[in-house]
A and B are shown apart, each in its own frame.
Chain A
Amino acid sequence: MSNNRLATALKSCEQNGEKAFIPYIMAGDGELSSLKEQLLFFEQQGATAVELGIPFSDPVADGPVIQRAGIRALNNGTTLKKILEELVSIREDVSIPLIFMGYSNSILAYGIGQFVTDCVKAGIAGCIIPDIPVEEEGLFAPIQEAGIHLIRLVTLTSSKERIAEIAETAQGFIYAVTVTGITGAREAFGSEVGAYLEQVKEISPVPVLAGFGISTPEHVRSATKYCDGVIVGSKIIESLEQNRKQDIIELIQASKKQVQQ
């Protein structure tokens, strides 16, 4: 698995003393034909990887911003098949590691075997399936067997024992959810979140990235004090919606400033 692009990118962050920054975008939100351009933007701005959402009709883990992006993508006629075809066709032009974020039914309907074959062709480095706990990973085992990281989530409601169980055989990174809730913006960064991230960090053999509700450079700086990086979703999608690329650049910079200033 050492040739996994995501593993390599995370390793180089660590070696450079940087924090990882992974933006989330919804595939097909703003036509699939613009996907290459979107990915290259993040690559040029120094993002570590891109998390690419697969639109689903019933996204229970997502807040309003990502729900709307999913509906726009579906209304554009986006399907998992078209996403994978597009990724295969732009593979040579994009080098930033790609992680799929998709609900289990999208993958099962595609067929797990075909999904894995096509992900390998498209150069997918990791998959996040937000509606499965470790107990239901069995159906998705071929993903890991193909060398694609199946990234696990831990949450504020996970006990210490459970975090240990989840982390023990974790791949890629641990996605530490920093709100008890769904994706979307939040106010401040509670002090208990720092303690929680430290705890996860202490247990985890792989890097720990914080996500859900991270929407300002301040959040990015606060979170990265305790862990190895952040994932930003709703705020990225909003900024793309409003064409405020500068906001995105500032978020990415916030993950780097500790070393660059």
Chain B
Amino acid sequence: MSKYVQPDQTGHFGVYGGRFVPETLMHAITELEEVYEQAKQDPEFQKQLDYYLEKYIGRETPLYFAEGLTKLAGGAKIYLKREDLNHTGAHKINNTIGQALLTKRMGKKKVIAETGAGQHGVATATVCALLNLECIIFMGSEDIRRQKLNVFRMELLGAKVVSVSQGSGTLKDAVNEALRYWVAHVEDTHYIMGSVLGPHPFPVIVRDFQSVIGKETRKQYLEEEGRLPHAVVACIGGGSNAMGMFYPFVEDESVRMYGVEAAGHGLDTALHAASLTKGKPGVLHGAYMYLLQDEDGQIQEAHSISAGLDYPGVGPEHSYLKDINRVTYTSVTDEEALEALQMLSKEEGIIPALESSHAIAYGFKLAKQMKQEEGIVICLSGRGDKDVETVQARLGGSEHE
């Protein structure tokens, strides 16, 4: 593949992305773009970021050879990129620490963020506690009910959690309300977008901060195997861990890339979150991207057992990578993800997040079909402690019978 330079000057990845926002926000996102460009060139900023990544978050994270899983699959070697070992238990904090440092740089004192299951909310509240920033988290009322513990976690960390009952009371409504709040408080507030979504420059900023995943993986795999992996696999909701994993490999033509969406109850039902597989392009939350929508353009609810994949759109860069066929996008059902979660727990002693279990499920299938001398990396984006209750409820008492 030739040199990959995306997005263009106006924040478009091909036709996707852009800045579909009310005029009130244009000043803030232009300012953010300028500050980010300066920060990228500033060795002091990089030094500060590296310091927190190492000392606070615990990077670099291991690239772990999953021997048990590999034997079970009987095909390609399976490596796991252990993002579950980051502070707060997932990749989300790679981005929030970077954006919190940008907030400081802009001289803003307040941070807002949206959260679905609460992982991005916790990661945001954490860095705000660390850097003395006021923090307000918008969360759907339905999600608050389902994720009481994470709400308490955020409050312990000093954040204020605002319940959003508009619309369906879930993640997309939390983003709407956070955007509305931002429009009204744009002078002193930064919005820490949690995924590779939103108006330009957010998809670029989040991708860049998450790219530490792919950069480390590339280096570690080369050290371990003396070559590049044959394939990398990551789960996709909005798409931040996948973009972080894929981006450093985009120009390595030999490396196949697989993005795994949540098929929920199945693609032939209405209950899934497979925006790339089943959606069509449109505008939501500031960007042109693949979306789950009806004929009238109304945004539809996404469904997945994993709250982190439960979003009706997918980042503009993924939309672009799909159209140019650089990444293969596929999907995995709730059922398959649950099986993968149990399999990894038993084979490797690692309980993966339900989100990451989608990547495990597909990666396992993929490895099976590959040769033993080949190798793949699966992004283990988060740990599963937060999901134990959901899994228990879903499996019911059957395990004890």
Q: Is B117 an interface residue (CB 8 A)?
A: no
The one of A71, A105, A157 in contact with B283, judged by C-beta atoms closer than 8 angstroms, is A105
Q: Is A257 an interface residue (CB 8 A)?
A: no
Distance of A181 Cα from B19 Cα, bound (Å): 18
Knowing A135-B10, A135-B18, say if A180 contacts B184 (CB, 8 Å).
Answer: yes
**Are B186 and A157 neighbours in the complex by a CB distance under 8 Å?**
yes
**Are A58 and B22 neighbours in the complex by a CB distance under 8 Å?**
no
The one of A105, A110, A152, A180 in contact with B187, judged by C-beta atoms closer than 8 angstroms, is A180
Q: How large is the interface on B (under 10, 10 to 19, 20 to 34, 35 or more residues)?
A: 35 or more
Interface residues of A in 216-247 (CB under 8 A from B): none
Q: Which of chain B's residues have a CB closer than 8 A to the CB of A60?
A: 22, 176, 179-180, 183, 285
Q: Is B224 an interface residue (CB 8 A)?
A: no
The one of A63, A110, A155 in contact with B23, judged by C-beta atoms closer than 8 angstroms, is A155
**Are A154 and B23 neighbours in the complex by a CB distance under 8 Å?**
yes
Q: How many residues of A contact B (CB 8 A)?
A: 43
**Are B166 and A67 neighbours in the complex by a CB distance under 8 Å?**
yes
**Are A105 and B282 neighbours in the complex by a CB distance under 8 Å?**
yes
Distance of A79 Cα from B18 Cα, bound (Å): 26
Q: Is A153 an interface residue (CB 8 A)?
A: yes
**Are B24 and A135 neighbours in the complex by a CB distance under 8 Å?**
no
**Are A109 and B295 neighbours in the complex by a CB distance under 8 Å?**
yes
Q: How far is the CB of B24 from chain A (nearest CB, A)?
A: 4
Distance of A135 Cα from B332 Cα, bound (Å): 38
Q: Which of chain A's residues have a CB closer than 8 A to the CB of B295?
A: 79, 109
Distance of A105 Cα from B18 Cα, bound (Å): 14
Q: Is B20 an interface residue (CB 8 A)?
A: yes
**Are B186 and A180 neighbours in the complex by a CB distance under 8 Å?**
yes
Q: Is B26 an interface residue (CB 8 A)?
A: yes
Q: When each residue 268-288 of chain B gets 1 if its CB lies under 8 Å from chain A and 0 otherwise, what string results?
A: 000000000000011111100
Q: Is B299 an interface residue (CB 8 A)?
A: yes
**Are A181 and B184 neighbours in the complex by a CB distance under 8 Å?**
yes
**Are A58 and B167 neighbours in the complex by a CB distance under 8 Å?**
yes
Knowing A67-B166, A80-B297, say if A131 contacts B184 (CB, 8 Å).
Answer: no
28 A-B contact pairs sorted by A residue (CB < 8 Å): A56-B297, A58-B173, A58-B176, A60-B180, A60-B285, A63-B180, A74-B298, A79-B295, A104-B283, A105-B284, A105-B291, A105-B293, A105-B297, A105-B299, A108-B297, A109-B297, A110-B296, A131-B21, A132-B20, A133-B19, A133-B21, A155-B24, A156-B24, A157-B24, A157-B186, A179-B184, A180-B187, A181-B184
Q: Please provide the 9 A-B residue pairs with the shortest distance between their CB atoms, ordered closest to farther.
A: A109-B297, A181-B184, A57-B298, A79-B296, A155-B24, A157-B27, A105-B283, A104-B283, A105-B282
